[in-house]
Structure 1
C-alpha cells in the first residue's frame, strides 16, 4: 500500500487531510487483505494506519529510517512535546519517495503493547520469571557467565546477535563480548538470511559489496528475479520496478507462481533445487550463442576457461528434463538476457537459504560479469537483504568477521583494530567464531554452557526448532535481551533484559543498497527498558571493563570510531561528517571517503565497480563454478511432497513478535497457520479448501489449514515461515561455504483431518 501525492498536492502531510491524495492498493495486497479499505486507513480511532487523532496535533516532525526490512524507507515522524504521535512516508527520501508498506505505517503502534518487556526478569527457584531491578540483573548476568567460564573455560559462553539493532550497538556488543568479556564465539541471525550473499560476494569480488542502487529497478530493460518475491517481501522495491518506463522484460525463476511471477513476462517454474542447473544452462547458451562481452571478461575477470568447461555439461535439453521446464523457455530467457542492454539480476532467500546457495548466487554473478552487466545504470548481480540492518551486521557485528570485514586470523588486521580502539592486541581473539549452527552443536555436545541472545527469536526461527528448544534447556545460564517478554525464546531464559525498540533509541542502519540512514529516539521506552547501547554500557561497567569503552559514550561517538575503523577499506565512510549530514542527505551510501567528500556533496545514487576494478588481489572479479549437489532429502513414498517455505504476506514479518501486536496488520493476513496445496493433489487426497490437515516430516508433525491454490505445482506444498509450525518440519542442512540453513526444501507427507 502506498500513499502517493499527485503533483498538485502539498507535501505537508501534517494537516490531517486526505484531500488530493489517492491510495493505491495493489492487486496482490487486495487479494490477501480484503479487510483493508481506504476508510479503515483514515478512520480516526479505528486503528487507522500511521495517522491518529493525536498526530493531527503534532507541532513538529523529524525523519528516520524504518525498522522492519532492509529496503530502508524514510518515515516522517510527527511529534508533540518531543514524542512521536504518528507517522507518514517521507516524500523526499531517495529510497521510497513517499511510499510505505503496511508494516512501516504501523511501526509506532507495535511499540505500545502489553507484551513489552518493561523490567528485568529473573527465574526464581520455583521456575517463574519474576521482576527485579537493573542492579540485581547486572549482578546475575556477570555472576552467571563468570561461573560458566570458570567451570568450563572462556570459550564455553557465546552470543547470538541480530540484524535488528543499530550499527553502533552491534559494534559495541561485538567489542564488549569478544574484547571485554573474553568470548570467542558469537554469530548473528543474519546467518539465517544473508550469509550466502556475503560469502558469494567476498569470493567473487574480494569484499562483501552489493554493487547496486535502487534506481537500477527503474533503469533496466531486463530484470531477472531468482528465488525472490519482492512484490510480497520488499513491496517498495517492487513499486520501484513498476515505475520503470522501459517496459522491461521480467524473468522469474521460482517453483511457485508467486505474486512477482504473475507479473513476469517469463516465469521459469522450475522444480525445487534445480536453480543452479538452470543458471548453468542459461550461461551455456550465452556462451554458445555469442552473448559474452569478451572485452570486459578479458580485462576484468578470471576463471573464464574453467567456467566454459563446467557449463558445457549442462545442455539445455538435459537441464530442461531435470527441471521440468521446456528447453525453449530456457533458451528464450538466455537470449532475452543476452540481447538486453541493461540487465539487473536480483536474488534473496530462495537462493540464500539453500544447501548450495553460494554457488547459485555466484552463477547469477557470473551471468552479470559475462555479459558486462555491472557498474552501469540498470545492471548488477544484486542481493536483496532481509532484515533492517543485516548490512550493518555484515560490517560491524564483530561476529565471524573482525570489525569492518577484517579477519580475526590476520595479525595485521588485529593490530590495526587494537591501535584504533586503543586496547591491548592480546585481547583480540586470533580465530574467528564458530558459525551459528556450530554454536548450536556446541550446546548439544556440552562445549557451550552459557548463551546470550540479543533481539532475535531462535526458538521459533531456527531450523528444526523443536530440537533447539530442548537444547536451550541444557544450558547452565541463558540470557535473552529483547523488547518483548512473550517470545518463544524468552520462555526458556534464566534472565531477561528489557530493551528499547525502534523509535526509542538512536543510531544508524545500512540498507540493501549500502545506504547509512538514521534511526531516532522519538518515544520513551516503557518502564525500565533501556536502549541496547545503554545495556551494553551498563554490562561493561558491571563486568569491570568499562575503561576499555570510556570513549563509547553514545551512538554518535561510536559512529566516529566506526569511521576510523573503515578508513582505507572498501567500506570507507570517513567522508561522512556525522548523524546530521545523514539527515541532510537522505542517507549516504558507502563508500564515502574523506577524498570523496572533497569533491562535494554525495550523490544520492551510486554504484560500485563502474571502473571495472574489484577488491581482489589482482583487481579482477572471479568467475566461480562447481559441481551440482543432490538435495539431501527428496520426496519418497513415505514423504511424497516437497515442502517450500517463505514469506506469507506483506503484513507479516519474521516470527511476528512485532507484527502480531498490530490490530491492523493482523487483519491483513490469516491468523491461523496454513499450507498451500495444488488442486490436483487436494482432489486426490480429498482435502477441501480451509480444511484441517496434518503435515508430517521426519522431524515432527503439525496441524494447519489447507489453502488449495494453483500457486504451487503438483507434488509441492508451501507454508509461510512466520508460523512456528513451519520449523517443526524443516531439516538441519547447510551450505558448506556460508553455513546458511537450507529452509526451503524437505520431504513431507500430508493427510486430511476432521474438523
Structure 2
C-alpha cells in the first residue's frame, strides 16, 4: 500500500497525457492551459443532424440535434422515426440543450472553495482517500453512483472503484427509485427483468396504473396510451386525484399505503370467483396453493374501511381485471417508495400471473423506470450487483467477469455492497470516512435531510463530481470535480422497455469540465491502477466489455454490433444474443414462451402479512404527507430544469402544498397564503393550494424543492432498502405573519 501511495503522490498529469493514446490526448490537450485542457471535443458530430437519446427520464426519446459547421449543437427537434416517441417530446426534452449553456456550470476543480488545476485535484483525491483506506481499511470509503450517466461510465466507475481502488461499498441514487422493482422481479422472475415493450400501452384493453402518474412523470408514455384504439378501461389506483386519475375511467382513491391489502383482496376475489387462469398457473407458476391459503384473511368486505373504498368500487375494479383479455399493470414511485414496497410490487405481479396476463401483447406486471439510465445502473454499475447482473458471492460469477475483463479474479470482492441507507448510516457509526458522489444530489433528494447533512459533515473527505458546483451536495463537499453533461459526451442509456439508446456528443463542455468517463481514466492513472484500464480508451471500447460480461445472462447483448447498429436501428432492446439479428427493430416483450429466469423456469408467487405504517398520524400530527412529481417541466432536484427560463414558467418558483378544502376550513388555511408544514423532523413553509385533488386528512408536496425532504422519515423497505418517501405524519399551521 505504501508503494501505491508513493505512485499516487509522484504522479504528474503531463506524464499521463504523453502515455495515453491519441484520441484521449486530443480530448484533453486542447488549449494552452497549464495541463492542456480546453474545448475542442473528441468525435464531435459533423455539420448536420444527428439523433441522440434524451438524457432526462427513462422513456428514452429520440431527439434530432442540429449542429453547425463547428459540430456545436444549435437546437433540436423530436425524432419522428424513433420507435419510442414517434416525433413527440415533453417540455424537458425540448429544453434538453439549455442546461449545457448555464452560466453557473462547474468549469474548474474546486478544493475547499478554491479553484485548483486537475493535477492538484487528483493528487488530493488520491492522497486523502488513500490515507483513509490505509488507516481504516477498504470498507471505510464508498461511492454513490447515479442513473444519470452513461452505461459505459457507470461500468467504468464500478470497475475502477472496486477492482482498481479496492473499495467494497458503492450504491446509486437508483436506490431511491427502482430498488423495489429490482428486488421484486428477482424474487418473482429470477432476474431483474421488466417484461414489456411500449407497444403494450397501445394493445391493452385494460390498463391499471398503481401509484403512477404518467401524464406528468412520463408524458410520452401517456401519449402511447392515447394511441390505444381498443377503447381501454384505464384504472388509476392513487390516494391523490392526479392528472392521470382525471383521465381514467376508474379512479380508486385508496387510503395511503393500503395498496398491498387491495391487491391481496383482489387476488382473493379472483380465487373465490373462479377467475384464476389455472392452466397458466399450473404450467408456469409456483406457490399458488400456499397463496390461496394465505389469502383466506382477505375477503374484501372485511377491509373496505382500511382501503377507503365502497364495495361497488372494489367489485367494479375486480370485474374489470377479471374480464379483460389483455390486462397490463403499471407501477412506479407510489409503489416503490413505501415501507412494504417489495411485497406490494409482488402482489401486483401475483395478480398478473394468476390471470395469465404475462408474455402476450398488452399484458404484464410492468415497472416504469425513473431516470434515463436507471436500468443501466441496475445491470452495469457494479454496486450491489456484480457487473451484468451477476452475484458477488458466487465464485463462478466472479471468475466469469474477471475472465471477460482480463483481470485477476482476486480483485473482485466476494460480497455485495451496503445499500445507500447503510452507507449513510455507516458515516454516523464511524465506519464510512470518505465518500465520492457522482452526478447525484443526495443533500437534496435523500430522506430526513437534517440527519443526512449532519452525517455528511462528519466525513473526513467528501468529493462531489457534477455538472454544477452549486448543488446542495456540492456546497458540502471538500472537493468538487467539474463534469460534462448529457450532450457533451458519448455512450448508451437503457430505457424502461430495456432499449439501449445512443447518446451523442453534440456540444463542448465548458472550461476544464471533462466527461465522467475521462475523469475515471485520470483517477485510475493517479491511483496507480491505470494498467488495468489502459485499453479502456473510449466508451465504445467499454461497450464491447459490457457485451462480453453479459454473455449467458438474461440481459445478454452480444448481438449488438456496436454504436453504429444502435444509431441505425433506433436503439435495440435486450436481450439480443449473437445471431439474433432477425428480431432487431421489432418491439419485444419477455416471457412469451412462459419460461422465467428461475432455476426451474417457473415464476414465483411471493407474499407476506402486511405491516403497519412506521409513523401513524396523531393528535399532534394529524395529516398524512404524500410526495411526488410536481409538473412535467420539473426533474428531480431541478439541477438542470431550473436553468431553463421556459421550464421555470411552467411551474411555481415557490414550494406549494395541496390541502383538502375541509381540512383547510378547519385549520383556517386560505388558498394562496403561506402555511407551515411540520413533521417530527422539520418545518417548511409553502403556499397553500386548497384543492380536492388530495383526500381529507392528506396533504401533498412536490418532491423537487430542497426543503421537502426535511420532513420525510428515515425508513426503508426491508427487502429493497428503498426509502419510504410517500407516507409520514405532519400538521399544517397558518402562517401568522
Same fold (TM over 0.5): yes
SS at match of 1:739: coil
Q: Which runs of 4+ in 1 moved over 3 A?
A: none
Distance 1:307 1:430 in 2: 35
Q: CA RMSD in A?
A: 0.8
Q: Is the 8 A contact 1:585 1:604 kept in 2?
A: no
Among 572, 575, 591, the alignment partner of 2:556 is 572
Q: 1:603, CA displacement in angstroms? A: 3.2
**How many angstroms does 1:319 deviate by?**
1.6
Q: Distance in 2 between matches of 1:391 and 1:492?
A: 29
Matching of residue 277 in structure 1 with residue 265 in structure 2: no
* Mapped partners of 2:200, 2:218: distance in 1: 15
Q: Which residue of 1 aligns with 2:446?
A: 462
Q: Find the aligned partners of 1:551 and 1:312 in 2 and give their Cα distance.
A: 60
The counterpart of 2:98, out of the listed 109, 112, 126, is 109
Query: Aligned-pair distance for 1:285?
Result: 1.0
* TM-superposed deviation, 1:681: 0.7
Give 1:59 deviation, angstroms.
5.1
**Offset, 1:633:** 0.5
In 1, Cα distance between equivalents of 2:599 and 2:213 = 35
In the alignment, is the contact (CA less than 8 A) between 1:233 and 1:647 conserved in 2? yes
**2:382 matches 1:382:** no
SS in 2 for 1:488: coil
Is contact 1:94-1:604 (8 Å) kept?
no
SS, match of residue 672 in structure 1: coil
Could you give the per-residue CA deviations for residues 685-739 of structure 1, whole angstroms, max 9, x where no partner exists?
Answer: 1111111111111101111111111100110000000011210000011101000
Q: Secondary structure at the match of 1:376?
A: coil
Report SS of the residue matched to 2:73.
strand
Alpha-carbon separation, structure 2, partners of 1:59 and 1:556: 22
Q: Is the 8 A contact 1:70 1:388 kept in 2?
A: yes
Q: CA–CA distance in 1 between the matches of 2:572 and 2:677?
A: 47
Who is 2:610 aligned against?
Answer: 628
**Secondary structure in 2 aligned to 1:208?**
coil
TM-score by structure 1 length?
Answer: 0.91
Distance, in Å, in 2 between the alignment partners of 1:546 and 1:331 is 63
Select the residue among 39, 57, 63 that pairs with 1:75: 63
The answer to whether the aligner puts 1:473 opposite 2:462 as a matched pair is: no
Partner of 1:9: none
Q: Which residue of 48, 51, 65 maps to 1:60?
A: 48
Residue 209 of structure 1 is matched in structure 2 by: 193
Equivalent position SS for 1:694 = strand
Task: Give, in angstroms, the shift of residue 141 of structure 1.
Answer: 0.5
Larger CA deviation: 182-191 vs 320-329 = 320-329
Q: TM-score, normalised by structure 2?
A: 0.93
Per-residue deviation, 1:360: 0.4
Q: Does 1:227 align with 2:215?
A: no
Supply the distance in 2 between the matched residues of 1:112 and 1:601 (Cα, whole angstroms). Answer: 40
Deviation string, structure 1 residues 589-612 (Cα, Å, up to 9, x no partner): 000001312xx3513300000000
Return the alpha-carbon distance in structure 2 between the equivalents of residues 312 and 61 of structure 1.
61
Match of 2:398 among 414, 417, 420: 414
Rounded Cα–Cα distance in structure 1 between residues aligned with 2:153 and 2:706:
28
Deviation at 1:286, TM superposition (A): 1.2
Q: SS in structure 2 opposite 1:574?
A: coil
Cross-structure match for 1:96: 85
Contact 2:570 2:585 in 1 (8 A): no
1:658 aligned residue: 640
Q: Distance in 1 between matches of 2:466 and 2:268?
A: 49
SS in 2 for 1:505: coil
Number of corresponding residues: 691
> Which range moves more in the overlay, 464-473 or 661-670?
464-473
Give the SS at the match of 2:465.
strand
Which 5+ residue runs of structure 1 have no aligned equivalent?
A: 1-57, 124-128
| Cα shift at 1:269 | 0.4
Indicate which of 133, 140, 143 corresponds to 1:156.
140
The SS at the match of 1:594 is coil
User: Equivalent of 2:243, from 251, 259, 265?
Assistant: 259
Distance, in Å, in 2 between the alignment partners of 1:343 and 1:280 is 17
1:739 and 2:714 equivalent? no
Residues 20-58 of structure 1 deviation map (CA, whole Å, 9 limit, x = unaligned): xxxxxxxxxxxxxxxxxxxxxxxxxxxxxxxxxxxxxx9
Counterparts of 1:159-238 in structure 2, within 5 Å, are 159-238=143-222
* Matches of 2:295 and 2:643, distance apart in 1: 49
Please give the alpha-carbon distance, in whole angstroms, between the structure 2 residues aligned to 1:449 and 1:70: 33
2:326 aligned partner: 342
Secondary structure, aligned partner of 2:303: helix
* Distance in structure 1 (CA, Å) of the matches to 2:314 and 2:553: 40
Question: Where does residue 712 of structure 2 map in the other structure?
Answer: 730
326-335 vs 425-434, greater mean Cα deviation: 326-335
Matches of 1:601 and 1:161 in 2, distance apart?
A: 33
Residues in 1 aligned to 2:397 and 2:298: alpha-carbon distance in whole angstroms: 42
- 3-state DSSP class of the match of 2:624? strand
- Distance, in Å, in 1 between the alignment partners of 2:140 and 2:658 is 42
Structure 2 CA distance for aligned equivalents of residues 663 and 217 of structure 1: 33
Distance across 2 between alignment mates of 1:335 and 1:286: 9
Structure 2: distance between partners of 1:543 and 1:511: 33
Q: Does 1:84 align with 2:73?
A: yes
